[in-house]
Amino acid sequence: MRKATAKNKARPLSRATGKKGDRPPPTPTPEPRSVSLLWWPAVILTCWSFGFTTMQGSDLWWHLASGRWIAQTRTLHFADPFSFTCHGRPWFHAEWFSDVIFHTWAKLFSPAALVWWKWGLLVATFGLLFRLLRQICGSSASAYLAMLAAIAVGAPFFDIRPQLYTFLGFVVVLSFALPLSRRLWILPLVFLLWSNLHSGFLLGLITIVTVLAISFFYGEAPRRAVYLALACVLACFVNGNGSDAVFWPIRFAQDSSSPFLRIAEWLPPYEPGGIRSSLYYPSIAAFVVSLLVVIGSGIYRRQPRLTLSSVAIGLVTFVLSIRSRRFIPLFGISQSLLLAPALAVIFSSLRQRILHARPWLDRPRVWQIALPVAAVIFGGFRLAPFPLSRNAFLFLTALDNFPVEAMNLIEANHLDGKVFNYYNWGGYIDWRTGGNLQVFIDGRAGTAFDEKTYRQYLRVLGMQNRWEDVVSNSGADFVLWPQHSSQQVDQLRKSGGWQTIYSDHVATLLARADYPLPRPLLPTPDSPWRDLALGWAALRTRDYAAVEGHFQRALQRMPNLRPACEWLADAQSLLGRLGEAEATIDRCQRMFPDSERRKQLLDLFRARASRGPKT
């Protein structure tokens, strides 16, 4: 074992030497600096194009509410301020600094501008990954394809939430640790920041300790490796939650009986429901094949420390991802560490065979320029259909599926008290009312709410075991529940203990029969959301003239309000104006592309047309 010295310097990973008898690594024609720079527009456009995942980002809203609360109270003593079930109880809040950033960003630029925060983090994360992969394999094209595979695997999980900091932090740690950079001293500062942004810093600790241990085994570890690892660990204790920031997530993950681990994002990928990545299982196969190629081509013998580190990191993230789907993006990043050098070997072998058969194709300078240009075109083609502005916020957060107009009514009439609410809407209520309307539960499951409260909510959601008593005995003054699960509302209303005070296409708001409501209730302010609700009501009564008027007016004031566009097309198809309906659907698609939804709607409209118009 070679003795490590303080003079050991990080070497280009693709130039590591091996034992005598190994096949020499492929030596592609060095890229001119101008060509290397040409890859960066391709990386930026491609990464940006994967930033348009539509999700009901219910966590975003309570993060915004939390950031505002921290700014107002100026405290890091976290006690629940938003619910009536756990009000004042300790709240484990690992993402407090993320929430402050969210609130500050939204205050300076508007909440909708958070799409730029998301896009910026994605570009930074996978741009840095591309840089690392290019350093590992020595090929920009292979690094780009491996980065593309990594971002495609994780894309379904890219929401506007603090977890994006963990993706970035993980790549930052890899970028310093794998090459054993001379700037490793920066890592404790990285962990100091990361531990206040998201609990995923624990994976970063596992990564740096693993890489340093393997480096020590091969005699390549820096002299102060133990002190560096210790400094990283100690830095993680400097946060708003103290030692709980380190130990609480471990206890949470190990409690197999916890109902919170049955929340969709914590479920294993092989169980039904929740977010799914269609490329996850192919990425596992790619990881295995890449490992075989790396071993078979002799890269392992030339770069044993790097290969073993990559395998270890890949296996750790694979185990995490197979236990919980929320770790799939991290496995996607990890498997690219082997995929990039494997692709470089495969492409080098293919290139030699092709040039042997077709010597006239040996134009290295042409290919050096053609490949990044093709990547730029690919990234631009993917990006072109999407709205490249804050207008994307409505689609990325599925805001039209939240009770916007119901909350407008609550604000207009200054309603406060306690509300038994749908789980995904709790954070939105927190943000809109700042705790004046206290929720039964929100997305902080496990960090603020106890298991009893969550199990009671599940009883109501599943309509099990005298669930009406849970609502009635909770002390709630209101119930805010979605239309797509209206059976609970119907039964509560039939019981006589509750009265409907508002209902639209998204939500129904009930109040206790004896609750002293203001009479009459003030209408909601004039807005596109009000026109959307009025248009939906007119559509139900087949008042098509009013329908078109409300939806057209909503679109004039808010051109990206897709439900108004689609329901306008629906009304046109009901009237037998199929050509107008198809043109309107195309207009909806220009707001935000969804080819599958377009096909479904057009099939519906054409089926109606075959039956004749409604009267």
pLDDT in tens, 401-444: 999 999 999 999 999 999 999 999 999 999 999 999 999 999 99
Lowest-pLDDT range, 113-127, 248-262, 289-303, 552-566?
A: 248-262
Mean pLDDT of 360-387: 89
Q: What percent of the chain has pLDDT over 90?
A: 79
Q: Choose among 151, 183, 167: nearest CA to 52.
A: 151
Q: What is 327-366 written as a DSSP string?
A: GHHHHHHHHHHHHHHHHHHHHHHHHHHHHHH-GGG--HHH
pTM, to two decimals: 0.92
Q: What pLDDT, on the 0 to 100 scale, is given for residue 300?
A: 86
Mean pLDDT of 390-407: 96
Residue-averaged pLDDT of the chain: 91
Q: What pLDDT, on the 0 to 100 scale, is given for residue 18?
A: 44
Lowest-pLDDT range, 92-96, 199-203, 283-287, 516-520?
A: 516-520
Q: What pLDDT, on the 0 to 100 scale, is given for residue 36?
A: 87
Q: What pLDDT, on the 0 to 100 scale, is given for residue 4?
A: 40
Mean pLDDT of 122-150: 97
Residue 257 has pLDDT above 90, yes or no: no
Q: What pLDDT, on the 0 to 100 scale, is given for residue 31?
A: 77
Q: In 384-521, which ranges are continuous DSSP H helix?
A: 392-396, 404-412, 426-433, 451-461, 467-473, 487-494
Q: What pLDDT, on the 0 to 100 scale, is given for residue 7?
A: 39
pLDDT tens-place string over residues 159-168: 999 999 999 9
Q: Which pLDDT band, with edges at 50, 70 and 90, does 180 fall under?
A: very high
Residue 206 has pLDDT above 80, yes or no: yes
Q: What is 24-56 written as a DSSP string?
A: PPP-PPPPPHHHHHHHHHHHHHHHHHT------
Q: What pLDDT, on the 0 to 100 scale, is given for residue 397?
A: 95
Domain residue limits, the chain: 39-62+113-383, 402-512, 528-611
Residue 469 has pLDDT above 90, yes or no: yes
Q: Is the peptide bond before 520 cis (omega within 30 degrees of 0)?
A: yes
Q: What pLDDT, on the 0 to 100 scale, is given for residue 69?
A: 97
- In the numeric block, the tokens 């309509």 are attached to 463
Q: What pLDDT, on the 0 to 100 scale, is given for residue 614?
A: 56
**DSSP, res 523:** P
pLDDT tens-place string over residues 38-64: 999 999 999 999 999 988 778 999 999
Residue 125 has pLDDT above 70, yes or no: yes
Q: What pLDDT, on the 0 to 100 scale, is given for residue 81?
A: 96
Q: What pLDDT, on the 0 to 100 scale, is given for residue 355?
A: 75
Residue 400 has pLDDT above 60, yes or no: yes
Residues in the chain: 615
* CATH code at 528-611: 1.25.40.10
Q: What pLDDT, on the 0 to 100 scale, is given for residue 9?
A: 41
Q: Which pLDDT band, with edges at 50, 70 and 90, does 329 fall under?
A: very high
By the 8 A CB rule, do 398 and 561 touch?
Answer: no
